Chains A and B, each alone.
Chain A
Amino acid sequence: MKHVGSTELFCRSTAVTPSLDSKQKPQVTIIDSNLQFETEPETASPTTAQQRLIALADWSMRTRSPDAAAVQRLWAQAIALVPLCEWRETAEQLARHESAAAKWIGAALFEGGREFGAAARILIAFSCSYSRPVEALRLLALSRVLIQDNNSQDAVAPLKRAIRLTESYRTLTSAGKLLRSLEHAGVIHYARECRLAMVGNATFDFVLPVLKTVAFASGIRLVTYAGAYNQQMQEALDKTSALHAFQPEVVILATDWRSLGLPEETPDADAALAQKLADITQLWDGLATQLHCHIIQHNFVVPEVSAYGALSGRLPRARANLLRRLNQSLVEHATRRTGVSILDVDEVAALIGKRTWHDARMWIAAKQYPAAEAIGMLAAHQVAHLRAVLGLTAKCLVLDVDNTLWGGVIGEDGLDGIRLGGNAEGEAYVEFQRYIKALRDRGVILAVCSKNNEADAKLPFLEHPEMVLRLEDISVFMANWLPKADNLRAIAGKLNIGIDSLVFVDDNPVEREQMRRGVPEVEVPELPADPALYTETLHRELLFEALTLTAEDAGRAASYKANLDREQLQQSSGSLDEFLSGLQMRVELRPFDEPNLPRIVQLINKTNQFNLTTRRMTAEEVLAYAENRGNYTQFMHLRDRFGESGITGVLMASPEDDALKIDVWLISCRVLGRQVEDAMLTAAWNSARAAGYRSLLGSYVPTAKNRQVANLYDRMGFALAGEDADGKRTYRAELTAERKFPAYFEIRAAC
């Protein structure tokens, strides 16, 4: 049914019915009441639609930087005018005009006229980087017209970027609709799927769809379950509950302060606190033992409104005070266990503003928390946290240098001409460098990718007194005149990490766009024009959030330097044997233990290349496996004469009749090429043999990233037992003779 004066756009979740003409492609249209359809007000001097269009066009040509509200309003007005007047000439004129507002209206007119290709061509040709919400709307509109132009493939990237740029509930809901259309078209590819349950004393029906949309923009496909109101304890303990049937990998415990039942003042505060904490940890225990899932516990938002006012925080017995102490205790208790992490929603509420966070009417009417306008911010933080849980956090920050790390161009301005320190602009760059240096110190790898002569680009690192970053902080330094996309691939290759774990930061929007086109897997945040805002902009992308810091993390950058030393040794060695002996490697092989569990779990979840089965496990699952006495667990710790590599190998095996079956076998990409797999297998082999097993079984499950180990078991002397249609292979080796460790290792085996 068509309505005069509107463009109806709808998105169906069921099959699209084809039009009668089989040569025509089915029409795709998107419904979105966020487009703010305007009702025409009665006016004393009625103007024709044509005159209104001219007035609109005129306004737009004089407006350089419309804000988000204006854009949405005017888009709808333009679309409403299309059926009522001659719009094409105006649209073409506006498309050619330089102002962003004019291009907006031009594109809107073409969308209203269902000429989606023309609308897309306009939208793609300008950017609104002066405002993240407006840029998000542009990318959303681009995605929408591309879908309607039957070009779902190209609609994916702008949709992802739109989602990353916005926290608006309306925009994210619109994005969610487009996402469903694209999923239906089969063009979305996810890096990871995750079964996530949200339970607590609130309704989650608003949060979960937004969470799914935001997770998509980070490559995660969420399969979700919303717990029944306040039934989390019952559902956790009841094996027949829907929560159990759902088998979540991760559970978000979104209980808020009202669930604690704390009055404004509590007489015996210490006892009350201890009791509340015990209740919470008891729920953790219940979930962990029954479901073997990771738990993300929301801490408690300290409410703005309290009859005690500021006293609530000052009095030791008053509620705000208790909530803060409880939040602190939550962190302490979570640190002592594996499988539980705390999401600081009190901080998230502070970021969005507690007045925005809490909508009294929505809470009373529907137990809805937080308010709609706060959901976007919450989802962004939940997804960043989830990425850390799943081991998907970015690993490497690649930096441009000119006007990114300092003001000016080193090749032209020279050491004395670049702005770094000294004045306000220079201080902004110093602040940015301090932030980046601190990232490096906690384990983020740094690289440089600059269009410069290498000597010029390195000069400030070596000689400028205000430089915070020094050359040794940079693990890979690429300064040349090649396309940056090629350099990014080379950097990923050198570091032996996936291209999708890189983040690229460059002040130049043209370079950024080229990178997005050339290497779509790399994350390229938008940077504002003002360097004073670089740090907070990068920070708010939440790309490097981590759950814990292991010793390996902290030492990572230094270990990359040691790797360069190893490379040199390799180049000067006559043979592989000579190289391996020259390393003077010491390998420790031990069964899993509690202190090393976080690192082991980290490896299990983020190792892709040398990973035979790519079986991901939560901390709880790993613990359960290790506690089963029949199973064999082994972690490998490597050091050599150049330094510590730390825990870099994991092997897990379980009994299967008279054989021991290897379920997990992986080695960190950092220590490949040193034959440590030989040491790990030998220990497992001899241990299995000594325990009386007759054979050792292994399997290879092919993925896009683990081709290099496709023939590992063959090389290790196993016989191929079978191969199925998906390429999964099973192997068998008879444990007739003892295996010898390779001579170039010093071995300390406790298993």
Chain B
Amino acid sequence: MDKLAVVFRDVFDLPNLEIDDLTRDNFALWDSLAHVKLIIEIEEAFNVKFTIDQVADTRSVEELRKLIGEKDGV
């Protein structure tokens, strides 16, 4: 079960959202406000903490998955 997908669907309120190909450039709803919401939720859900440049520079689901995978969280 894709926890990251659940977070995205929660933040954007879109229950059937497919997230794998989403980026900040191709998904209009993913603005800076949504980005901060996503970061807060992801940090809580995966028990990880992003650094300031990771927060600022991550622009796609692919990058997020990679980042989360690298962290030590549960």
User: Contact residues of A with B, CB < 8 Å?
Assistant: 1, 3-6, 8, 10-13, 29, 31-34, 36-37, 39, 80, 169-170, 203, 205-206, 360-362, 364-366, 368, 372
What's the nearest-Cβ distance from chain B to residue A601, in Å? Answer: 37
**A362, B36: Cβ atoms closer than 8 Å:** yes
Known contacts A6-B1, A31-B6, A37-B1; is A365 also within 8 Å of B36 by CB? Answer: yes
Among B1, B7, B55, the residue within 8 A (CB) of A361 is: B55
- Other than the given A33-B45, A206-B36, A206-B37, 16 more pairs (CB < 8 A) read A6-B6, A8-B6, A8-B15, A10-B13, A12-B13, A31-B15, A33-B3, A33-B10, A34-B10, A34-B44, A36-B45, A170-B44, A361-B51, A365-B39, A365-B55, A365-B56
**B1, A4: Cβ atoms closer than 8 Å:** yes
| A-side contacts of B28, CB under 8 Å | none
Among B6, B13, B15, the residue within 8 A (CB) of A37 is: B6
B26: Cβ under 8 A from any A Cβ: no
What's the nearest-Cβ distance from chain B to residue A37, in Å? Answer: 5
Among A13, A31, A32, A372, the residue within 8 A (CB) of B40 is: A372
Residue of B nearest to A41 (CB): B74
Interface centre among A10, A36, A361, A362 (most CB of B within 10 A): A361
What's the nearest-Cβ distance from chain A to residue B19, in Å? Answer: 12
| B-side contacts of A39, CB under 8 Å | 1, 3
Among B9, B32, B39, B50, the residue within 8 A (CB) of A10 is: B9
What's the nearest-Cβ distance from chain A to residue B30, in Å? Answer: 14
Closest 4 CB pairs of A and B: A10-B15, A33-B10, A366-B36, A365-B55
| A-side contacts of B33, CB under 8 Å | 203, 205, 366
Alpha-carbon distance A561/B3, docked complex (angstroms): 63
What's the nearest-Cβ distance from chain B to residue A506, in Å? Answer: 36
| A-side contacts of B37, CB under 8 Å | 206
Alpha-carbon distance A36/B3, docked complex (angstroms): 8
**A364, B52: Cβ atoms closer than 8 Å:** yes
**A31, B10: Cβ atoms closer than 8 Å:** yes
What's the nearest-Cβ distance from chain A to residue B15, in Å? Answer: 4
Residue of B nearest to A203 (CB): B33
| B-side contacts of A366, CB under 8 Å | 32-33, 36
Residue of B nearest to A4 (CB): B1
One digit per residue, 1 when the CB lies within 8 angstroms of any chain A CB and 0 when it does not, for chain B 36-73 equals 11011100110000111001100000000000000000
Among A3, A32, A34, A360, the residue within 8 A (CB) of B1 is: A3
Q: Is the interface of B mostly helix, strand, loop or mixed?
A: helix
What's the nearest-Cβ distance from chain B to residue A334, in Å? Answer: 32
| B-side contacts of A169, CB under 8 Å | 40
| A-side contacts of B2, CB under 8 Å | 3
**A13, B15: Cβ atoms closer than 8 Å:** no
Known contacts A5-B1, A36-B45, A203-B33; is A365 also within 8 Å of B13 by CB? Answer: no
**B13, A33: Cβ atoms closer than 8 Å:** no
What's the nearest-Cβ distance from chain B to residue A168, in Å? Answer: 11
Known contacts A11-B13, A366-B32, A372-B40; is A33 also within 8 Å of B1 by CB? Answer: no
Alpha-carbon distance A80/B1, docked complex (angstroms): 10
Alpha-carbon distance A6/B5, docked complex (angstroms): 12
**B3, A37: Cβ atoms closer than 8 Å:** yes
Please, could you name 14 A-B residue pairs with CB atoms under 8 Å apart, sorted by A? A1-B15, A3-B1, A3-B2, A5-B1, A8-B15, A10-B15, A31-B13, A39-B1, A169-B40, A170-B44, A203-B33, A205-B33, A206-B36, A365-B36
Residue of B nearest to A80 (CB): B1
**A33, B41: Cβ atoms closer than 8 Å:** yes
Chain B 1-31 interface residues, beta-carbon cutoff 8 Å to A: 1-3, 6-7, 9-11, 13, 15-16
| A-side contacts of B11, CB under 8 Å | 33
Alpha-carbon distance A6/B9, docked complex (angstroms): 13
Alpha-carbon distance A542/B72, docked complex (angstroms): 41
Alpha-carbon distance A34/B6, docked complex (angstroms): 10
Alpha-carbon distance A169/B36, docked complex (angstroms): 14
Residue of A nearest to B37 (CB): A206
Residue of A nearest to B11 (CB): A33
Alpha-carbon distance A364/B39, docked complex (angstroms): 14
What's the nearest-Cβ distance from chain B to residue A591, in Å? Answer: 50
**B13, A13: Cβ atoms closer than 8 Å:** yes
Alpha-carbon distance A13/B13, docked complex (angstroms): 8
**A1, B45: Cβ atoms closer than 8 Å:** no
Alpha-carbon distance A542/B9, docked complex (angstroms): 36
Alpha-carbon distance A531/B71, docked complex (angstroms): 45
| A-side contacts of B56, CB under 8 Å | 365
| B-side contacts of A10, CB under 8 Å | 9, 13, 15
Residue of B nearest to A205 (CB): B33
Residue of A nearest to B6 (CB): A33
Alpha-carbon distance A33/B46, docked complex (angstroms): 11
Residue of B nearest to A371 (CB): B40
What's the nearest-Cβ distance from chain A to residue B74, in Å? Answer: 8
**A365, B1: Cβ atoms closer than 8 Å:** no
What's the nearest-Cβ distance from chain A to residue B17, in Å? Answer: 10
What's the nearest-Cβ distance from chain B to residue A33, in Å? Answer: 4
Alpha-carbon distance A12/B15, docked complex (angstroms): 9
